[in-house]
Structure 1
Amino acid sequence: MSQGLIRKQSVVYFSDIVGYTRLMGKDEDGAFQLMKDNLTIHKRYFEKFEGQLIKELGDGILGVFDSPQNAILASIEIQKEIIALGKFSIRIGMHCGDIIFDHGDVFGDAVNQSSRIQSVGVPSSILISEQLFNQLPKESPFLTIKLGGFSLKNVAQKVELHALTTPPLTVPKRLDILQNIRFQEKNPLKYGIGIGVIFLLLTLVIYSIFWNSSVWEKDKSVAVMPFFNLSGNPELDYFTDGLTENLIGQISKINSIKTISYSTMADFRSWERPLDSLANVLGVTTVLKGSVEELNSGYRFKLQLIDIAENKNIWTDEYSREGKDITQLQNEIARDIARVLDAKLTAEEVIQIGKGETSNAEAYDLLFRAKRLYYEGFGDPTLFFKAAELLKKAIELDPNYALAYTWLAKTYFQIAYDDPNGSWYDMSLEMSSKALELEPKLAEGYSARGIVYYDLGQYAKAKNMLETALSFYPNLSDAIGNLATIEFAQGNLLEALSLQTKSANLGPNSYLPYQNIAWIHKILGKFEEADQWFDKSLKISKNQVSYELKGMSLIEQGKKSDALKLLENLPLTDSLEYNVRVAGSILFFAQEYDSAYKVWDISVSRNIKSGFDKYYSTPINFSYLLKQRGDSQRADSLLNAMIQIKIEAISLGYEDYYLPLDVSTAYAIKNQKEEALKYLQIAYDRGWRDYFFTEFNPAFGELRNDSRYAKIIGQIRSDINQINQKLTSTSLQRDK
């Protein structure tokens, strides 16, 4: 259950300074000081009696207590001190009931009733509801008098009120309260200045139409908070999470609405700070909050769309659904959100919303359960197999459930990641193919195929699949990030930068887009910007690759000591294999060869027993260190093994530049210049643009004097200059 949104029984406390507006008119500074004195007194007794001061409401105070006795004791002490002070007076009203605590605020009918009870009191009085009175012990020490029932504004039923009579409190007469109620119902201002009010309202309407449109009307963006499970049964959390993800998916199909990805919002379920701080983190203008309540025959869903800048509701609604009607709920809500935000849907967006969904409620539920296991599988890979079983059951119930096939394709891909030698990749492609047979324009199906082709190194196929997915679903965050990675690997840095920026906007708490944006800036020689992006990435996740790339950036800038300081973040233990590789890499390029040798020797010795992976590059530069130590036999053995593994992968269709760049480095260490230059050219042709890895690698010392090497590096520098010119031109266009 969300930590930021909790429902419980509480006593709600409201107080208000009597006549504050009149005091402000006489002495603004003095009135402001009284408000500060009032707050100080409240804080003292709330702390003493274990209350929680929620917020100031101008000259009023809203708070809550768990204990009715403590609430009464605090109220009496507050009134006593303020009466003794003699500078101002307050009235206090309290009620108890079920309220919702949400990101530092409280909501519920009990809050409204407490406010109304306070408003009808008299100076120096404390009024409480019958419900709160009944919560007090029978032998209560508190002196009270019953005043009877009253019809309060915006409260459906009569409210029975009691007044505390403990000296020196003022005890209101029933007539006093009735007069206050009548005054609220018949505000004399509307008769005295009716024409002025009408004129003012007209002015405000005209202003709002022509000049004062809300921020969200100009910047249509929404963060969907994980739905709150009102049942209190944690076994229902899978359903609320699944519904949240589905809804985010459907809203994000509307290109004109920026929608934060589910992978990001899942991290904000325990957000306890105010919503405006959430908006600053995510860069959105609205927040959608929802709750799910389990009924005997279905569910009740309550939704609230909030304008963050003005802290007010734009839209609220309630839905009750059961059976097959539940499966289409997220589509209906997505269309309602589009209507509220005045987002015009294209014909394709109308088609995409709800595409691939089922009308079978049981199959729909199984998919939600499978998704929960899928996400937990990143911590425990065995859960991917359990997720797959649930998805297969969903498909048995509805053989036309295209999204179930897509999720099964994604699940098989994750299994393949840990077992690349199995047939899981083929099975994943088979499932996504079935999804696309059912729904030829299903973006999620193309995206699922794209990631498989990417992992198989088939960039051309992967790019085609991902671009097709985005043509139907422009904000599909997974496809955006994966396509950005491919564009980078193919040397298309501008396209990669644009996509990574969009990916960061949709998932602002994911470190990877920031890491890649930083790497692109490093390649372009924009080191100050690169370091800032690396720091932003590392603030989110202490990822080893971010440390490695930042270390390369610092070394390239001549800041060797700063690069070596990064090693403090990379503890070298047997369980942190990647730390060992990265630490050795930073030491190697910082020319700390003895230290690099000691670190890498651990990694190579450990991995040689299990066999080297095609993307494991540590043995290559380690071999250079071996040769410098005179151990050419071991060096050549490692280099020959690495060359064979990587060339075999190239022959199998892996299209990235990393493999030929590694082969080129290996041949350079073996002093086979022709082969080294051949594969270096292949690496360039495939998209290699970060010349740091040859210009700062001692293995290329002799090759740097070769004109053919200089030509390749010269071409890279020319490409980078052209990209920088385009970036400058684009920036100038934006500034105009």
Structure 2
Amino acid sequence: MRKLAAIMFTDIAGYTALMGEDEPKALALLQKNREFLRPLIEQRNGEWLKEMGDGTLSSFASAVDAVNCALEIQRTIKDDPELTLRIGIHIGDVVFEGGDVFGDGVNVASRIEPLAGPGGICVSDRVYDDIQNKPDIETVFLGEKTLKHVKRPIKVYALTGEGLPAPSAEAFATEGAVPTRVAIPSRRILAAVIGILIVIAGYAIYTRYISRPGKIETIAVLPFEDLSGVENNEWFSQGMTEAISTNLSKVSALTVISNQSAWQYKVAAMPIPEFGQRLKADVFVTGSVLRVEEKVRITARLIEAATNRHLWAQDYERDMANILAMQSEVARAIAGEIKVKLTPEEETRLASARQINPETYEAYLKGMFYVYKGEYEQGLTYLNQAIEKDPADPLAYAGLAFGYVTIGHSIAATPDVWPRAREAALRALRLDETLAEGHAALADVKTYYEWDWEGAEQSFLRADELNPNLAMNHYHYAWYLALFGRLDEAIVEHKRAQELDPLTPLHTTYLGWLYWIGGDYEKAIEEIRKTLKLYPDDWEGLWSLGYVLADAGMYEEAIAAHQKAGDLGALGLTYAKAGRRDEAQKILAELEEEEATPWGAFSLAVLYTALGEKDEAFRWLAYEQPHTFVPWVRVLPLFEPLWADPRFKDLLQRMNLPE
């Protein structure tokens, strides 16, 4: 719908600098600004259209309403030590569509707003014509200005009077394009101007080259703030954060910290420099996301981790249908800003974003949000909805494969999850062979379900080629290598997973297992204790520590760890190794009474092995639905008593493993 409207732009003076110095304070100020402005604009017959970073856009039916609203805003907050606004108003022909507004009128208003000094209001000649005869509104003419992307020069006026600052001639002279009327300056003025330009140029050189951080190799994307003001909308901002991180992860010259670690910033309650040390990150990407109907605006910022210093910021806006292209554009801009060279293949992949069905993408984002939270049933429901809406969407199939694989690794895995994971991964790759996540999921299927060892390694390597920053791909490939005795390579891969995802416990805990397999008890215990230092009640850390301690003969400590972990099978093993067979047998009887599951069968095999009852151990290792751990009987010290038994060779052959 096209109509004549008065457009008002506001922004917070000094906000960019504040964001670089104190991000939590800046975000709190943004919230304060929103809560103050919106009701006041609506009370003054205005329509709140959208928020763009620290800026707002509103429309009014008349210039008088817009100006009166602006005056009330500035007079209300004139003594506020935190919130200082600039306001620009223009009236013109604009187009309203889908809750947004477009047109030359919008562009002119946005270009006028920076001409106002802090606390000030600037208006165009079109607005001035409507208010010049209002006795309670005072103005002063600042001059003509040629504004960017505006064909004709615009006469600009500043509002004056009670509660307003004196008009800023400096802001008018330096903001925007060069004024259309240029007077020849005196020599004194010219010398002063040259001096100022030299200072500005020197500062620019300093900030651009000298004061910038050294070589940037490690980056983390912190959770983006949702500015939409919609409840239960975290799935959208988290999805945008994940997407930008994923696009950056495709750049082989960068180490991109996993979102699983980066998202812990929300609960870490620590300053940026300290969190940067914990992640070993050089820079952080932060920002905000605003969605209005089918329009999405992302504000991305780059912050030096060691100093919390603001390095760069940029706004991006697209329709939902082109959201993938915008995510790629943000990633390319960040890579360019930190001087990272992309390979031709990476350039091609980042530039080849397709259009999407907004409803499909929404369902996909919601699905991944719940899968990451561990609410698998709800997550898989949304992912299947995405596929129903668009059966040709590769992201939805890749997300579904990831969800099923994640369930497959859990104690509660059911027999159907691995076939479903395989089907979803293959469908994803038929639709888009360049999806690293699809290859990673397929590698897991081939490793833990099909026992297709050659195919598994091919899939691991292809996933790494497409995205070298997938922490879980490195983790599972490490265990693949360990299974075949390539322990040195396995430790390198596992350490890479740990580097990419340092705050996820399993990357440290199971690195300890690799040292245990190699017979280095000291390093094994050291790694596992690192997990427990950060997460004292972590089940897998306690469970693992108990196993290693028991194998090292430190039975009392092992029993304490397994009692705290609350795992009966592990505790039974430790009792058996410590010579407390009666207590081990009691636990065995309890486990035998439980309904058989893949995990239960594996636990029974471990306990029977520790008790020296090999027949029973082999019976449970041959359970019809083997747990994903079963192939690793080949290398785990838990099963060393079985290795010389002829039946062990048969077990390995059934799994296509060498002796």
**TM-score bin, normalised by smaller chain:** 0.5 to 0.7
* Residue 502 (structure 2) aligned to one of 508, 512, 533: 508
**Residues in 2 aligned to 1:685 and 1:583: alpha-carbon distance in whole angstroms:** 32
* Residue 311 (structure 1) aligned to one of 308, 324, 327: 308
Contact between 1:408 and 1:431, CA under 8 Å: does it hold in 2?
A: yes
- Who is 1:130 aligned against? 75
Q: Does 1:387 align with 2:393?
A: no
Call closer, same or farther: CA 1:438–1:152 in 2, change over 3 Å.
closer
Q: Does 1:157 align with 2:121?
A: yes
1:8-27 alignment, distance < 5 Å = none
Q: Offset of 1:619 from its aligned partner?
A: 4.8
Q: In structure 1, the residue corresponding to 2:121 is in which secondary structure?
A: coil
1:22-421 alignment, distance < 5 Å = 130-132=75-77, 156-157=120-121, 214-215=212-213, 217-353=214-350, 357-376=354-373, 378-379=374-375, 381-396=376-391, 399=392, 401-414=393-406, 418=412, 420-421=414-415
**Residues in 2 aligned to 1:529 and 1:195: alpha-carbon distance in whole angstroms:** 64
1:544-563 alignment, distance < 5 Å = 544-555=539-550, 557-563=552-558
Q: Offset of 1:157 from its aligned partner?
A: 3.5
- Who is 1:539 aligned against? 533
Q: In structure 2, the residue corresponding to 1:454 is in which secondary structure?
A: helix
**Residues in 1 aligned to 2:20 and 2:211: alpha-carbon distance in whole angstroms:** 28
* Residue 570 (structure 2) aligned to one of 582, 586, 605: 582
Letter in 2 for 1:658: V
Q: Offset of 1:654 from its aligned partner?
A: 9.7
- Who is 2:452 aligned against? 458
Identity of aligned residues (%): 20
TM-score under structure 1 length normalisation: 0.59
Letter in 2 for 1:458: D
Call closer, same or farther: CA 1:652–1:109 in 2, change over 3 Å.
closer
Q: Does 1:444 align with 2:431?
A: no
Q: Offset of 1:491 from its aligned partner?
A: 2.0
Unaligned runs of 5+ in 1: 1-10, 13-53, 69-95, 100-106, 111-127, 136-150, 159-173, 572-578, 628-634, 689-736
**Residues in 2 aligned to 1:561 and 1:652: alpha-carbon distance in whole angstroms:** 29
Letter in 1 for 2:465: S
1:31-85 Cα distance to aligned partner (Å, 9 max, x none) = xxxxxxxxxxxxxxxxxxxxxxx9999xxx99x99xx9xxxxxxxxxxxxxxxxx
**Residues in 2 aligned to 1:298 and 1:643: alpha-carbon distance in whole angstroms:** 60
Q: In structure 1, the residue corresponding to 2:232 is in which secondary structure?
A: helix
Q: Offset of 1:132 from its aligned partner?
A: 4.0
* Residue 471 (structure 1) aligned to one of 465, 472, 477: 465
**Residues in 2 aligned to 1:644 and 1:562: alpha-carbon distance in whole angstroms:** 31
Contact between 1:432 and 1:448, CA under 8 Å: does it hold in 2?
A: yes
Q: In structure 2, the residue corresponding to 1:482 is in which secondary structure?
A: helix
- Who is 1:643 aligned against? 618
Q: Offset of 1:564 from its aligned partner?
A: 3.5
**Residues in 1 aligned to 2:372 and 2:294: alpha-carbon distance in whole angstroms:** 29
Q: CA RMSD in A?
A: 5.0
* Residue 419 (structure 2) aligned to one of 411, 415, 426: 426
**Residues in 2 aligned to 1:109 and 1:388: alpha-carbon distance in whole angstroms:** 35
Contact between 1:98 and 1:108, CA under 8 Å: does it hold in 2?
A: no
**Residues in 2 aligned to 1:203 and 1:314: alpha-carbon distance in whole angstroms:** 17
Letter in 1 for 2:485: G
Contact between 1:374 and 1:387, CA under 8 Å: does it hold in 2?
A: no
Letter in 2 for 1:157: I
Q: In structure 1, the residue corresponding to 2:433 is in which secondary structure?
A: coil
**Residues in 1 aligned to 2:293 and 2:503: alpha-carbon distance in whole angstroms:** 38
Unaligned runs of 5+ in 2: 1-11, 14-18, 39-52, 57-72, 81-114, 123-160, 173-188
Q: Does 1:601 align with 2:589?
A: yes
Letter in 1 for 2:633: Y
TM-score under structure 2 length normalisation: 0.65
Call closer, same or farther: CA 1:238–1:552 in 2, change over 3 Å.
closer
1:194-222 Cα distance to aligned partner (Å, 9 max, x none) = 99999999999998899x5643x413222
Letter in 1 for 2:277: N
**Residues in 2 aligned to 1:268 and 1:591: alpha-carbon distance in whole angstroms:** 46
Q: In structure 2, the residue corresponding to 1:223 is in which secondary structure?
A: strand
Q: In structure 1, the residue corresponding to 2:602 is in which secondary structure?
A: coil
Q: Offset of 1:512 from its aligned partner?
A: 1.1
Length, aligned pairs only: 522
Q: Offset of 1:591 from its aligned partner?
A: 3.2
Contact between 2:21 and 2:309, CA under 8 Å: does it hold in 1?
A: no
**Residues in 1 aligned to 2:484 and 2:596: alpha-carbon distance in whole angstroms:** 31
Q: Offset of 1:315 from its aligned partner?
A: 0.9
Q: Offset of 1:242 from its aligned partner?
A: 1.1
1:275-300 Cα distance to aligned partner (Å, 9 max, x none) = 11110121111111111123355122
